A and B are shown apart, each in its own frame.
Chain A
Amino acid sequence: MVLERDKVIVLDAVAKDTGVRVGMKRGGVTTLAPEALMFDRSAEREEELQREVAIALLRFTPQVAVCEEETIVVDVTASLRLFGGILRVCREVKGVVKAIGVTARMSVAPTGRGAWLLAKPGRRRVLKMRSLERHLGPLPFMVVPELRPFADWLNGLGCRVLSDIQRLPRAGLKKRCGVDLLDSLDRAYGLAPELHEWLELPPTFSARVELPDRVEHAEAILFSARRLVVQLCGWLTAQQLALTHATITLEHERGRQAIEPTLIEIALAEPTWHEEHLVRLLKERLGRTELEAAVIAVRLTASEVQAAEPPSDSLFPEPGGSAQDHNRLLELLAARLGAENVLRPAPAPDHRPEHANHWVPVQGGLKTPPAPDDLPRPTWLLHAPLRLMVKNHRPFYGSPLKLVSTGERIEAGWHDGALVTRDYFVAEADDKSCYWIYRERPSVKTEETRWFLHGLFG
């Protein structure tokens, strides 16, 4: 439960069962439920959270305003067609708010002030001016903050709801209560233009979230990290930027000595501003991360961004998916398997087969150098050449091997200390499978001929 000025203002169902009620003092609560968790209300953190939600909502429209009394006003008039109607927008807004980890009451009205008033007592969706007037009428007048100082006086007049206030003579109301009150009501009813202080964005993005508990498994961080990603996506969309590089900092619990926070770098080949892809990448990266200590907070920093390119839609989409799809696939594979396990060939100009066959991570920027296409080489090379037994002066691998080609002499590497002097042959086993074997040319040290298996003709 949450307390403000030593009085309970919010409590959960379990607390209610023990007999705690809203407005109780701290002492009363400890008597009834000694094990209850009590938190003091923190206005700064509430404001911070409200701002976080507002940043995440920037995905839908640039016009987001943080208003008084824990309310956020979003003008989605211009975005309705893009998102496919007000119902869809509402559903997606609900999803975003849920991802941040808070609950919200949502109301829709043709005026921002009207929606604000409707959201106070409950959720309601009105689209036309006339139905807004109909729904505003029965609201108790206490929802309008400007009316609250005059509550006793208005009660004395017999006013209970907003429509009663509307019926009062305007001139007298203006004289007694000031201009602000009438302006506020006019804005709600759409009679006066509205002015909102739209949210101004920070030029850089760096958000931090404290975890509810100390977390020892990297996967468990994902939920909190998602909250950051949702904000990041809102920030990116509002500025029409795409992310190319982000850093995730996992702050560790301070033990006897401070532990350096763990850094996870996310580099993207294909700039993106989509939440789904970022969350998926993050999931794979977190899955591979091993924590050295419990984590208490997560920070997400967008280190590199670039201007977002709008998707270029072709009339007939390509069947195989676009190049962006493929890049996204590569990123995902590299995130799970590790960049060193997603490889592309980069053959080197060398005579030695094991040096010529060089593989590099896919995400390097360099192009594949052209390779000669007239060298008959085996498809598979062994990691290390396998020493073959010799029986009856013939190499033996499962069965005696018969040499079926003339030799190819490869002698290179004197310049870098990995000298090879080999005669390569194609050999055939009894079952007619072909092997690529070599005979090491006898040197001064070894007199015997040694045979090695180096490749398979796949």
Chain B
Amino acid sequence: MAALLKHVESIHPGLWLGTQLARAYGKTVDTGYAALSAELPGGGWPLGALIELLVQQPGIGEMRLMRPALARVAQRPIVLLQAPHVPNALAFSYLGVPLDKLMWLRASKTADALWSAERVLQAGSCGALLFWQQHIRSEALRRLHLAAQATETLLILVRPLASAQDASPATLRLGVRPAEGGIAVDMIKRRGPNRTEPLTVTLQPSPILLSPHGRIRRHSLAPAFAGGVQTEVVASV
């Protein structure tokens, strides 16, 4: 009996102890940031599940946070739905996302946007769906979550940070705020223990490549990255 209780979490993948991270149900894709991956169940973004990214405002580093994962799923098309601003194609190619896989959908109505999201998920031919939405009803969320479960698409819903208070069926909810050299990630909901203190992630590539004062600013904190600016370029400045 005692032996059974000791490994109660091994009975079923859906069981875990309050102090542990859950094991992933399905596939995950590595986030590319080791500190963040270590904090997520399954060691990465879950595929075929609703992930919510709650950003303080668009354009604070959420795309660079997604960059390694997007590059990994980019054998299949990547759909940007209701992007907050005009996506800059050159930036995506700089981030390592192949341009021939990129798709931008604009919908004039929320109903159209939700319909498109559901269709994209049902077709299952896309590698990732990034969906920006200000207000979304909880039944729509549940429907998206359900549609995502039948696929292997990376579904990321980007919402304002204020909606962290509302309940959501999402498997993973992360709050994203800008911080020195990158972003601070708040674990709002995950299958695992609560984590109250934010996790600072140093994002690559940093937009600040060349300092006006002729010295390397905070770039040397993390090793230079393939796809970013080469080390020699930075060092020679």
Contacts and interface: CB of A to CB of B under 8 A. Distances in A.
A2 interface: no
A320 B87 CA distance: 25
Contacts of B212: 403-406
A333 interface: yes
Given A405-B208, A458-B61, A431 B178 contact: yes
Interface string B123-157: 11111000000000000000000000000100000
B208 A379 contact: no
B165 interface: no
A428 B182 CA distance: 12
B25 interface: no
A382 B210 CA distance: 23
A197 interface: no
Interface stretch (A32-40, A239-247, A305-313, A339-347): A339-347
A458 B208 contact: no
Interface string A322-344: 11011011001100110001111
Contacts of B108: 337, 341
Q: Summarize B's interface: helix, strand, loop or mixed.
A: loop
B207 A381 contact: no
B119 A333 contact: yes
Interface stretch (B12-20, B35-43, B93-101): B93-101
Contact of B102 (A344, A382, A457): A344
Interface in A242-264: none
A347 B96 contact: no
A190 interface: no
Interface in B158-206: 177-181, 205
Interface stretch (A112-120, A198-206, A368-376): A368-376
Nearest to B80: A343
Contact of B107 (A337, A347, A359, A377): A337
A370 to B, nearest CB: 8
Contacts of A373: 93-94, 96, 227
A171 to B, nearest CB: 69
B125 A381 contact: no
Nearest to B95: A379
Given A321-B123, A329-B119, A359 B89 contact: yes
B76 interface: yes
A380 B83 contact: yes
B88 A381 contact: yes
B124 A320 contact: yes
Contacts of A379: 59, 63-64, 87-88, 91-92, 95
A343 B104 contact: yes
Contact of B88 (A337, A346, A378): A378
Given A343-B106, A457-B59, A457-B61, A405 B211 contact: yes
Nearest to B115: A336
Contacts of B89: 345-347, 356-359, 371
A439 to B, nearest CB: 13
A333 B116 contact: yes
Contact of A456 (B85, B103, B115): B85
Interface of A: 319-323, 325-326, 328-329, 332-333, 336-337, 341-347, 353, 356-359, 362, 367-368, 370-383, 403-406, 426, 428, 431-436, 455-458
Given A347-B93, A403-B212, A426-B207, 15 more contacts: A319-B124, A320-B125, A320-B126, A332-B119, A336-B116, A344-B104, A345-B99, A357-B89, A372-B93, A377-B91, A381-B86, A433-B178, A435-B59, A455-B59, A458-B59
16 contacts: A336-B116, A345-B104, A357-B89, A375-B94, A378-B91, A379-B59, A379-B92, A380-B85, A381-B85, A382-B85, A383-B86, A405-B210, A406-B210, A431-B56, A432-B181, A457-B61
A-B pairs, 4 with minimum CB distance: A456-B59, A345-B89, A380-B85, A458-B63
